Chains A and B, each alone.
Chain A
Amino acid sequence: MADSIQMRVTRYDPDRDSAPTVVTYDVPLRKDWAILDGLNYVKDHVDTSLSYRWSCRMGICGSCGMNVQGEPKLTCATFLTDYAPGPVRVEPLTNFPIVRDLVVDIEDFMEKLPRVKPWIVRDDVTVVDGEYIQTPEELEEYKQFSNCINCMLCYAACPIYGLEPDFIGPAAIALAERYDLDSRDRGQRERLDVLIEKEGVWGCTFVGECTRVCPKHVDPAGAIQRYKLKAAQENVMAFLLPRGAR
């Protein structure tokens, strides 16, 4: 194994640059090193101005998503050796405005998320009554959708979101479905009202990239399909019955 690898890293300084550039760094190629370890090596030893987000370094906080060799990845869970002999391209996540270097602006998602009401909609039971009964089978119904870490890889992979920024997007829809499928929740109607709109599920042409890139094996594409079915049934009902009768 060679003892170093080239990382070709996007740099962008909004104060000085009119467009992003690429800078190549040589970093040690070590068996245990993730892409993130390579970036940390650059920051500590080569160029201290390189900017990127990271935190937990165990694939759960969702901070360190970047495009690696063109694919959205968690850089703490993607290893340099998988790209040997290199070079390996590290770019900011696509489909988001670049703030600086590898940092992107995710405010669009932060504004969209509350719209799908990602919380339990129900107020007929109080805590003193004890826990809601939920069997392991009922838990299994929504569990995979609850594993979303909001890392934004699915938005970076989604060609629709790239073309239609109003599209509410895979992670938010997966979280809507997570609560819809939760036996404790009563908010399906309210969420459908949001997702039945044009920027809801209808934008999706079922490319399936979101599910493919998800590092936590969530299936947003599946959630979107289920919503389309619900929305289609709703539209048929709307055609047949006045709203008050539904």
Chain B
Amino acid sequence: MVSEGAAATHDVLLVGGGAAGLRAAIAIAETNPNLSVAVVSKVYPMRSHTVSAEGGAAGVIAEGDTLDEHAYDTVSGSDWLCDQDAVEAFVQEAPRELLQLEHWGCPWSRQPNGRIAVRAFGGMKNMRTWFAADKTGFHMLHTLFQTSLKYGDVRRYDEWFVTRLLVDDGRVHGVVALELMTGRIEVITAKSVVLCNGGSGKVFPFTTNANICTGDGMALAYRAGAPLKDMEFVQYHPTGLPFTGILITEAARAEGGWLLNKDGYRYLQDYDLGKPEPTPVLRSMELGPRDRLSQAFEHEVEKGHTIESPYGPIVHLDLRHLGEKLIETKLPMVRELCMQYERIDPVKELIPVRPVVHYMMGGVHTDINGATPIEGLFAAGETACVTINGANRLGSNSLPECLVFGARAGKAAAEYAASAPQPPSVVMEQVDDEVRRIDRIRSGDRGTERIADIREAMQSTMEDSAGIFRSGDSLSKGVDRLADLQQRLEHIQLSDETRVFNTELVAALELANMLDIAETMLQSALQREESRGAHQRTDFTTRDDERFLNHALAYRDSDGSARIERLPVTITRWPPGERVYGR
């Protein structure tokens, strides 16, 4: 039952309280203070996954760096699948956004003269990555959260889990949400809704992503009829700690760390990434792009050059030559994480690492202002796919992406809300339908399947079928297995009958979200018969611009299956070329 007097009403509703959502909220509070703005999030904002970002945020500020070079690095890093108009807007606005964060108190690391310091990062030709030691996401998130407290009129719904978008006649009207503290199902109406609820790394078994990264925003949009774009592109970060999947930031390599195979050999030199030099060289070797480094690891596994560990093959990240002082000032969290979770000290010991699922290039299809094809519905951050990332995101582009497109989507959603007529009364059938869906899961008397079993089966399916290398065969098998899991989901058994803070119910709803978007990932991958960026097919090993210099749009068909359509890539100034690193 929807509780009485539920329907709270706002002009703009932000779903998600990470960097994109909070940036959007502040943008609206500053530019349209008369609008009623609310942030709904399934966790307290400062728990959002932005908090885990480590290395930095790219924005041109250093002398000698140019916007064109940032754009070219991003375009070539994306294997030409980004939209270049979006990239041009992004590189142009990123420095101002990062400066804005500085004015709001972000503790950016500094040069001795007090100006902003920048560091190198993978795939970037110049030093342009702003950093707050190696806790950049943490500091950005807390700066945004604390600054948002200044705007007391921004209403927050902390620990409310949005389960459905209300859409009628092609226009969004609000959401249905579960209030975790009470277990009540509520309706919140709004003239515009911005999805800012992060990525979906948890569809894979081994990921840097937090437990909350279950692709909720993507699933909400997809079920409401909006297409998901470029879902086949999954970023493996080359350096995760075995077992936990905790990220060892790319900054460790930017500061001079080396990747070594079992013979202590800097193996990247064998993969067209340049020659080993004692100090870091930009766009070369350990500072190559993430897709190429993770693929090189897989080749080393095939050659038998990796080291066996209880958690699969690993290589070593060597920071020992950097010295304790540099590690303490520039990479304190790397040391802290290694000591805590591996019980090793990187000042003296090698760090075991392996590639780990880190980021979804794909997401809800939006234009350059975050608008989706559904009127009033916007998206920003990892949930969205604008796309500046194309087939492979460059490290340190995602944090500024949250700021630039969070602000853009927020402003666009505010403009829309300011001029849009009041939505007609909520379509009660949709609300009733959602209440029935949740109550049906909650009643839990349908069968014997366990959430954890289905989740683990989904995760191993995704790793087996859509890992760093895929094939038509592996992907087809994966599609069949997911269909089977969708069937099993119909028969899950919940044992938790308590309304208050029912995390089993949340896990069941998250699992349903993940299964839906997992299918879009496999279908998009199956139909992209080429290799580009992070999507490497063993049966189609080269890039095919003739057929596939375009985006995949996954629509949900009436029978629940994914239908793929194609959309041209926007090219402004950089025609497709070869990706060259280290030469």
Interface of A toward B, CB cutoff 8 Å: 13-16, 32, 43-45, 47-49, 51-63, 77, 99-101, 103, 105-106, 110, 113-114, 117-120, 125, 127, 130-136, 138-139, 142-143, 146-150, 175, 179, 182, 184-185
B113 touches A119 (CB 8 A): no
A127 touches B100 (CB 8 A): yes
Number of A-B contacts (CB under 8 A): 163
Task: State how many angstroms separate the Cβ of B240 from the closest Cβ of chain A.
Answer: 11
Task: State how many angstroms separate the Cβ of B198 from the closest Cβ of chain A.
Answer: 11
Cα of A149 to Cα of B142 in the assembled complex, Å? 8
Interface of B is mostly: loop
Set of chain A residues within 8 Å of B494, measured between Cβ atoms:
48
Closest residue on chain A to residue B158 by CB atoms: A110
Q: Which 10 A-B pairs rank lowest in CB-CB distance, beginning with the nearest?
A: A49-B496, A133-B114, A44-B452, A114-B149, A118-B146, A120-B105, A135-B114, A55-B210, A56-B210, A100-B501
Residues 102-121 of chain B: 1 if any A CB is under 8 Å from the residue's CB, otherwise 0?
Answer: 11110111111111100000
- Please name 25 pairs of A and B residues whose Cβ atoms are closer than 8 Å in the assembled complex, sorted by A: A14-B498, A14-B500, A15-B498, A45-B452, A48-B504, A52-B503, A53-B43, A54-B211, A55-B43, A55-B49, A56-B210, A58-B247, A58-B341, A60-B51, A61-B43, A105-B181, A114-B149, A114-B152, A118-B149, A119-B146, A127-B103, A131-B115, A133-B114, A139-B107, A150-B142
- Pick from B44, B150, B212, B504: contact of A119, CB under 8 Å: B150
Interface of B toward A, CB cutoff 8 Å: 43-44, 46-49, 51-52, 96, 99-100, 102-105, 107-116, 135, 138-139, 142, 146-147, 149-150, 152, 158, 181, 210-212, 243-244, 246-247, 333, 336-337, 340-341, 450-452, 494-504
B105 touches A182 (CB 8 A): yes
* Given the contacts A110-B158, A135-B110, A150-B46, A185 and B105 also touching, CB distance less than 8 Å: yes
- Pick from B48, B102, B244, B504: contact of A57, CB under 8 Å: B244
Closest residue on chain A to residue B152 by CB atoms: A114
Task: State how many angstroms separate the Cβ of A113 from the closest Cβ of chain B.
Answer: 7
A48 touches B496 (CB 8 A): yes
- Pick from B44, B103, B111: contact of A120, CB under 8 Å: B103
Set of chain A residues within 8 Å of B47, measured between Cβ atoms:
53, 55-56, 61-63
- Pick from B51, B111, B139, B158: contact of A56, CB under 8 Å: B51
- Pick from A61, A99, A179: contact of B52, CB under 8 Å: A61
A132 touches B103 (CB 8 A): yes
Cα of A107 to Cα of B104 in the assembled complex, Å? 25
A15 touches B499 (CB 8 A): yes
Cα of A15 to Cα of B499 in the assembled complex, Å? 8
B110 touches A48 (CB 8 A): no
A51 touches B340 (CB 8 A): no
Closest residue on chain A to residue B451 by CB atoms: A48
Most buried by B among A45, A47, A100: A100
Closest residue on chain A to residue B61 by CB atoms: A131
A56 touches B49 (CB 8 A): yes
Closest residue on chain A to residue B110 by CB atoms: A136
Closest residue on chain B to residue A56 by CB atoms: B210
- Pick from A57, A61, A103, A133: contact of B501, CB under 8 Å: A103
B495 touches A48 (CB 8 A): yes
* Given the contacts A48-B450, A49-B496, A99-B181, A57 and B114 also touching, CB distance less than 8 Å: no
* Given the contacts A57-B211, A133-B115, A149 and B103 also touching, CB distance less than 8 Å: no
Cα of A47 to Cα of B113 in the assembled complex, Å? 57
A58 touches B52 (CB 8 A): yes
- Pick from B52, B108, B498: contact of A60, CB under 8 Å: B52
Task: State how many angstroms separate the Cβ of B135 from the closest Cβ of chain A.
Answer: 7
Set of chain A residues within 8 Å of B497, measured between Cβ atoms:
49
Most buried by B among A44, A55, A59, A62: A55
Cα of A114 to Cα of B337 in the assembled complex, Å? 31
Task: State how many angstroms separate the Cβ of B307 from the closest Cβ of chain A.
Answer: 17
* Given the contacts A113-B149, A133-B115, A135-B113, A58 and B244 also touching, CB distance less than 8 Å: yes
Task: State how many angstroms separate the Cβ of B453 from the closest Cβ of chain A.
Answer: 9
Set of chain B residues within 8 Å of A138, measured between Cβ atoms:
114
Cα of A103 to Cα of B150 in the assembled complex, Å? 28
Closest residue on chain A to residue B453 by CB atoms: A44
- Pick from B52, B116, B247: contact of A131, CB under 8 Å: B116
A51 touches B503 (CB 8 A): yes
Task: State how many angstroms separate the Cβ of A107 from the closest Cβ of chain B.
Answer: 8
Set of chain A residues within 8 Å of B96, measured between Cβ atoms:
127
Cα of A52 to Cα of B501 in the assembled complex, Å? 9
Task: State how many angstroms separate the Cβ of A61 from the closest Cβ of chain B.
Answer: 5
Set of chain A residues within 8 Å of B114, measured between Cβ atoms:
133-136, 138
Cα of A138 to Cα of B113 in the assembled complex, Å? 11
Task: State how many angstroms separate the Cβ of A72 from the closest Cβ of chain B.
Answer: 17
B110 touches A139 (CB 8 A): yes
Task: State how many angstroms separate the Cβ of A183 from the closest Cβ of chain B.
Answer: 9
Most buried by B among A57, A99, A143, A185: A57
Cα of A138 to Cα of B115 in the assembled complex, Å? 12
Closest residue on chain B to residue A130 by CB atoms: B99
B500 touches A15 (CB 8 A): yes
B135 touches A60 (CB 8 A): yes
Set of chain B residues within 8 Å of A125, measured between Cβ atoms:
103
B104 touches A49 (CB 8 A): no
Set of chain B residues within 8 Å of A56, measured between Cβ atoms:
47, 49, 51-52, 210-211
Cα of A138 to Cα of B340 in the assembled complex, Å? 29
